[in-house]
Structure 1
Amino acid sequence: MKQSDVLIVGAGPTGLVLALWLQAQGVGVRIIDKAGGPGTTSRAMVIHARTLELYRQMGMADAVVAAGHPSRVVNMWARGKRRARIDMRDFGGDITPYPYLLIFPQDQHEAFLCDQIARRGLTIERNTELLEAEDTGDQVTATLRGPDGTTEVCTARFMVGADGAASTVRKGLGGSFDGGTYQALLYVADVEVAQDTFNGNVHLSFDETDFLLVFPYGTEGKMRLVGSVRSERVAQSGELNFEDVGHESLHAMGITVTHLNWFSTYKSHHRMTDRFRQGNIFLAGDAAHIHSPAGGQGMNTGIGDAVNLAWKLAAVVNGRGNQALLDSYHDERAAFARTLIRTTDQAFNLASRKGSLFGFMRTYVVPNVAKLAFGLASARAAMFRAISQVAISYSDGPLGTGTAGSVSGGDRLPFVHLDGGDNYGPLADITWQVHVYGQPSGALRSWCADRDIPLHVFAWGKGCEAAGLMRDAAYLLRPDTYVGCAVPKGDVEPLQAYLTHLGV
């Protein structure tokens, strides 16, 4: 009987990232997938800044950026004219090392992650299906069916369902998956164009009945189109093709399609389970929550689930954490998923709902409001923070405590430029660490040394103050680079109490 620390069911981006982070922390991983290979088509196009920051921990960010296509400008069109423009180069560089949207189609992204899996000595067991699983209290016993049809019983300390919206793991837990399906029929198409004058910029176009997203990628005039299909076209055609969808927005932007590489239609859903954890079994990614395509949040959120869960599982497997860590996974990620579903639902309904009121809002109100808002640096930065997921905070969750400056426990560590680099360099170590911007106390130095916790000291400067950090404060960072505990004067007692509570 095969045994592993963690059995991962599902080898999409969520499962692959989970496997990589666990393996990097010394956890024995087994990953299975009932499909015969990685996805060959995709709808997810964007990797956001927060995901790239997490990839930097694993030394993968540079390769992903090199393989993808950074887009630093987003344009909004309505009624055939460009109404608003946001250039992330104006402000994003003070927020993150990755001040752009990275266009990297999901099929290429999955292929990259599979290559990383192989490079690290892991094997994805393809054509292998989970039939049933039982949590016996101290482990999970799972029955699998392999490529040749034979069954196998294996055990794992923990099991994670990263097996998509139709998750076998979630169904086995009996968890709900409440939500609904949007009425709008969407299409996705990979096309080649006669002349690409967009310079890699992303475009969002509205008219009274349609919306269209344009993602240029590659150097050969290739574009990914995501748009809505008019209801009358659906009624008139049994099987839609690219000629059936509205091309008015394409023509208005000066896009002439010369070749269609791929076309598909689909309906989007918004659903969420009531439990991300039950005993030793966890859910992550689309198995736990699915969203509208607004903002390109779905895949990035699943990757965020994986990283959040990985360090907590690793801590418990390695005897360096208790059940409070595992309980916090649901508290932190369910709260974010709930908020995300609500906000993307509102945005998607505004973009896709039919009717004169929604058409008027799309083509007149939203572009004019956006033009005014984008004129304010604070509004542009706030929008980028939200879409890029760098604004995600767990300050209301169970693992965040203390405040120093404007940074609280549970917040993402603010990014700061320093002479010769930045303060994110030490985050490559997936471990607890303490940051001090200024001078640490002698007691803090001794406390870190006694507990083998790395202490990183940075010279105080204007950039630190602008980022909201406090001089000489101690910031205890979790392995996923969020602040766990913030102590204004660097006192060690709150830090020790925090770690003791978590069994670290």
Structure 2
Amino acid sequence: MIVGAGPTGLVLALWLTRQGMAVRIVDAAAGPGTESRAMAVQARTLELYRQLDLADAVVAAGFPNPAFNLWVGGRRRARIAFGEAGAGITPYPFLLVYPQDRHERFLIERLAGLGVEVERRTELLDFEERDDHVAARLRGPQGEEIRAEAAWIAGCDGARSVVRHQIAAGFPGGTYSKVFYVADVQARGAAATGEVSVALDRADFVAWIGYDKDGRGRLIGAVEEADDVDEAGKACRFEDVSHRAMTDIGLEVERVNWFSTYRVHHRVTDRYRRGRAFLLGDAAHIHSPAGGQGMNTGIGDAINLAWKLAAVQAGRAPDALLDSYQAERRPFAERLVATTDRVFTLATAEGGFADFVRLRIAPLFAPVVYRLEAARQFMFRVLSQTLVSYSEGPMSQGRAGDVRGGDRLPFVATVDNHAPLSAMVWQVHVYGAPRPDLEAWCRTQGIALHRFDFGAAEAEAGLARDAAYLIRPDTYVAVAEPDASVANLEDWRTRHGLTLGQGAA
């Protein structure tokens, strides 16, 4: 049972259904959202969307935003072209702008195509765990009480998660004193392009995300006086927010199509799992929207958990595999919250020192950093989430070349080595010549062995000649074995109690 039909819950339902699990997805709302706070679909999400043949359709429906600009004191100090920074790193070297409301409708249609409908106006009241299932009480569309049972329950139900409260998970963190505003607008001016711009000023900032090249876009900024906003984060009009940073970059808003304010929190739950209950997305972590990471992180949670649930439910893995969900995803969420907290604090802090950093240090430092190819690539990897790694997690082992167990498999554009990853199965990759005993081991396990030639592109990507890379169903490397040792691969498999092929355990 999936509680919550936002992008996180919908992706979890899609990935579980694709792997043969029956799912029930409920949502208290009457329909999908009509307002959209999440706009950015990062490259790593698009890579994972290839598994269900979603990526091309999402890219076609959205707007590939080609560059990031930093403005300080009315001048553009730096520009990083995503296509240059991400070239060779991913098939999707851009920031895709795809509003969440449209994104949700797209995922709902795909889920319906698999025979699963979202149960609307259906609210989770509570649940209790039994020996081999969860028994839940729901309130239906007419106010009727519904009893339901499921093997597992996934809380994708947002910051006020009923599932999180039910399992008594903590949600430590805090709330910023300032208040964010978001506005969908029609604008003109030097910054009103189909790119991303961030403008810094004295205790003021504004971020512009272009929807197209004709001046349509999203503005994000901070309300100067939080006293003008009620406890729910509602109140002022667009006319009431500071326009100083907008004016500095010549951004003139001609029409406001939608405007909202809300308070910004930074929290990570202390428990992603209790027994048969799991927390994902905003139910597990919330943070400032700096960098457009929130929705993508929730989708990453869903795909990380989905293959593990499917394996355990099918008897191909022990229950202990599910503990690796928290072990892998919580450290990433903590780092993300800490990073976005620092960025947001720097952009909105008041006082002379903060102004000095924004208006004096940033203009000197940013152009130097952006001229360095390695720095540009690193920033793209962080933003795109292609740098996310589980190398410190309990399921990861070894290193071959620059690739560690737990890392995302590097992309090699010349051969598109990510193409086989569209199958949600275990597989082995060898770049060079596979050993005969490795081929025999893969046949015994019932998994595919994909062989690629080794050349300059593979070496540049950090892969090692003739090494064996055991790839998980969620496309991360589980084991990077430099000598392609079958003994080491088999030891890892038996230690974790896994059946790698799709047959019965």
How many angstroms does 1:322 deviate by?
A: 1.0
How many angstroms does 1:295 deviate by?
A: 1.1
Which residues in structure 2 correspond to 1:107-118 (within 5 Å)? 107-118=101-112
1:85 to 79, 84, 98: 79
**Tell me, what secondary structure is at the counterpart of 1:402?**
strand
Separation in structure 1 between the aligned mates of residue 8 and residue 144 of structure 2, nearest angstrom: 27
Structure 1 residues 232 and 394: CA distance shift in structure 2, 3 A: closer
Separation in structure 1 between the aligned mates of residue 70 and residue 109 of structure 2, nearest angstrom: 36
How many angstroms does 1:167 deviate by?
A: 0.2
Q: Tell me which moved more, 436-445 or 488-497.
A: 488-497
For the Cα contact (< 8 Å) 1:186–1:226, is it kept in 2?
Answer: yes
Separation in structure 2 between the aligned mates of residue 386 and residue 212 of structure 1, nearest angstrom: 21
Separation in structure 1 between the aligned mates of residue 37 and residue 359 of structure 2, nearest angstrom: 25
**Is 1:496 the equivalent of 2:490?**
yes
How many angstroms does 1:198 deviate by?
A: 4.7
How many angstroms does 1:251 deviate by?
A: 2.7
1:54 to 48, 53, 64: 48
Which residues in structure 2 correspond to 1:465-476 (within 5 Å)? 465-476=459-470
Separation in structure 2 between the aligned mates of residue 363 and residue 197 of structure 1, nearest angstrom: 18
Aligned residue pairs, count: 496
Aligned equivalent of 1:433: 427
How many angstroms does 1:221 deviate by?
A: 2.8
Aligned equivalent of 2:137: 143
Q: Tell me which moved more, 161-170 or 82-91.
A: 82-91
Unaligned runs of 5+ in 2: 499-505
For the Cα contact (< 8 Å) 2:179–2:226, is it kept in 1?
Answer: no
How many angstroms does 1:231 deviate by?
A: 2.2
RMSD (CA atoms): 1.7
**Is 1:187 the equivalent of 2:171?**
no
How many angstroms does 1:104 deviate by?
A: 1.0
**Is 1:383 the equivalent of 2:379?**
yes
Aligned equivalent of 1:253: 249
How many angstroms does 1:87 deviate by?
A: 1.2
1:330 to 326, 344, 354: 326
Q: Tell me which moved more, 247-256 or 443-452.
A: 247-256
Separation in structure 2 between the aligned mates of residue 233 and residue 317 of structure 1, nearest angstrom: 51
For the Cα contact (< 8 Å) 1:71–1:202, is it kept in 2?
Answer: yes
**Tell me, what secondary structure is at the counterpart of 2:207?**
strand
Amino acid at match of 1:383: M
Q: Deviations over 1:166-205 (max 9, x none)?
A: 0000001111111110111111101112468754111000
Separation in structure 1 between the aligned mates of residue 292 and residue 386 of structure 2, nearest angstrom: 14
Amino acid at match of 1:385: R
Separation in structure 2 between the aligned mates of residue 136 and residue 239 of structure 1, nearest angstrom: 45
Using the size of structure 1 for normalisation, the TM-score is 0.96
Amino acid at match of 1:121: G
**Is 1:319 the equivalent of 2:311?**
no
Aligned equivalent of 1:26: 20
Q: Deviations over 1:395-449 (max 9, x none)?
A: 111010011111111011011122xx41000000001000000010110111111
Unaligned runs of 5+ in 1: 1-6
2:38 to 39, 44, 68: 44
**Is 1:105 the equivalent of 2:130?**
no
Separation in structure 2 between the aligned mates of residue 232 and residue 156 of structure 1, nearest angstrom: 44
How high is the sequence identity, in percent, across the aligned residues?
53
**Tell me, what secondary structure is at the counterpart of 1:417?**
coil
Separation in structure 2 between the aligned mates of residue 451 and residue 489 of structure 1, nearest angstrom: 19
How many angstroms does 1:250 deviate by?
A: 2.3
Q: Deviations over 1:92-147 (max 9, x none)?
A: 12111111111111111111111111122111000001111111131111111111
For the Cα contact (< 8 Å) 1:137–1:280, is it kept in 2?
Answer: no
Using the size of structure 2 for normalisation, the TM-score is 0.95
Aligned equivalent of 2:7: 13
How many angstroms does 1:366 deviate by?
A: 2.0
Structure 1 residues 194 and 487: CA distance shift in structure 2, 3 A: closer
Separation in structure 2 between the aligned mates of residue 130 and residue 276 of structure 1, nearest angstrom: 18
**Is 1:405 the equivalent of 2:401?**
yes
For the Cα contact (< 8 Å) 2:199–2:205, is it kept in 1?
Answer: yes
Structure 1 residues 134 and 376: CA distance shift in structure 2, 3 A: same
